Every structure is written in structure tokens, then in C-alpha cells.
Amino acid sequence: MSRPAPGTLYLVPAPLDFGCDSQVPVQDALPASTLQAAARLTHWVCENAKSTRAYLKRVDALYPLALPLQQQQITELPREVHKRGDHGGKGSAPFDARPLLAAALAGHDMGLVSEAGMPAVADPGSSVVRAAHDLDIPVVPLVGPVSLLLALAASGLNGQNFAFVGYLPQDAAERIQRIKELETVALRTGQTQLFIETPYRNAALWQALVQTLQSTTRLAYASGLTLPEARIRSQPVRQWRQQTTLLPDNRTPVVFALGL
């Protein structure tokens, strides 16, 4: 007996309001085509099952789900993928996500979703996408918000040459060294440097940036993107050193950027 044609792996963006004090109507953040595609899916690989169910509940209010929420097949990526990343590191092998795609091999369409934004971009999930390609499972990214690109576009920094460098070190001395390294690259090449932080460490990172960077380096942040209370500010560090209001807080997700 021949195997059924594989299903498709859909990369399903989520609203950027996860963890924020308020939420936008989901239809304001995502197009109808994405929400309708999500409503049709019944098999999921996700970063967090609880937040995925909350997202699907919001979808269901607009477009009824193909199966009730309690019957959706939702599988979380293992915790070690969150800690060391999809591609391994520190001597560990890359994560093999092929077993997570058994439903797709059996002919079911599947969704990959993270807690906010586009899965596999600044979030876990690239191992699942890589496994889909290795298994000849079609991959289709759906349209939705990507916080890094929204922040970059709104920063006034170089959008022709940029790099996302993930999280900076938690140790204060290592963080300062990393900030200096990123600034050196930015000033030498013109490449914008984008990075993020766990919200409760936003203020500490911001203080380190303002104290460490050269006065002429441009520093930008974007917080609460797509929300009514979103803040996007970009100016040279010398001006930030005189600023005492409208700074990043420790509650809202922020994308940081530095460059020329």
C-alpha cells in the first residue's frame, strides 16, 4: 500500500500581545486568510500549549475551529530546545524534530506556532521547519506580524544590512563586552544590530546600553508593537542620557536596535 501524500506544515504567526497588559482584536493583527487557515488545522507543534490554546480560542471566536479545542492535537517542543536552541550548541547535537511531524507524514496538515509573532524567527521552531524539508513535507509561511522587521522599519536604522543577535549575556561584565562588540561591528560595517531581552530585564539592559555605547551611536527600541500603547523611539545615545521618561519598562516585550 502506498503512503498518503504528506500534509503541509503551515507557519502560523501569532499576535504580538502575548504577556502584555492588553490585547488587540486578533483580526486587527492578522489577516483573515491566516486566521481561516489556523481554524482549519487540528495538529500543532508549539512553543507553549497553554498560550496556543488561548490563541486558538481567539481564532474560534471569529472562525470556528475544525475540531473543538479539547480535541486539537497540540505538541510542545521539548524544554531543552528552548534552553539551547534548535541548532544545539556547546557540543550538543541539533534537535531532531522529525518525530513531531508524524501527523504530516500521515497526510494531515499541521501548524507551527510560537507565543508571539512568526515561529522560527527569534523563537523556537526552525528545527521543525528543517525536519519538514528533510521529509519532503511542504512548508507554507502565513502572513502576520514579525516584531524584528516592524522594529527595524520604524527605527530609522539601516534596513539594507542588519543582523539579529538574539539575547545579550546576563552577566554584567559579559553584557558590556558584548555591547561593545556589537557597536564595533555596526560602526565598521553600517550593519544594524537587533536584539531582545526577557521583559523583566529590559531596564537593566537599557541602562547598560546607554552607559556603554558611544554618544553618537543611534539607539532605538520598540515596545508593545501593534498595541495602542506601542512606543517606538530612536535617537543618539547622547540624547538618551538626558532622557528620564518614555523608557523601556520591565513588563512589555521590547526589540532593541543600535547602529548608525
Q: What digits encode the pLDDT tens for the residues 85-122?
A: 676 666 667 789 999 999 999 999 999 999 999 999 98
Identify which of 244, 172, 243 has the alpha carbon closest to the alpha carbon of residue 212.
Answer: 172
Phi/psi region, residue 200 (left: phi>0; alpha: psi -120 to 50; beta: rest), is alpha
On whether the 9-141 domain is CATH 3.40.47.10, my answer is: no
The whole model's pTM is what? 0.91
CB 38 within 8 A of CB 59: yes
| Per-residue CA distances from 36 to 12, 32, 49, 58, 194 (Å) | 11, 6, 20, 12, 32
User: 147-259, what's its fold?
Assistant: 3.30.950
Measured on CA atoms in the order 243, 166, 169, 223, is the torsion positive or negative?
positive
Domain boundaries, given as residue ranges, for the chain = 9-141, 147-259
pLDDT (tens digit per residue) in 54-66: 999 999 999 999 9
Would you state the pLDDT for residue 79? 80
What's the CA dihedral at 64, 70, 75, 78 to 10 degrees? 130
Residues of the chain with pLDDT > 90: what percent? 84
**CATH topology identical between 9-141 and 147-259:** no
182 grid coordinates: 556589537
Would you state the pLDDT for residue 20? 87
pLDDT (tens digit per residue) in 218-243: 999 999 999 998 999 999 999 999 99
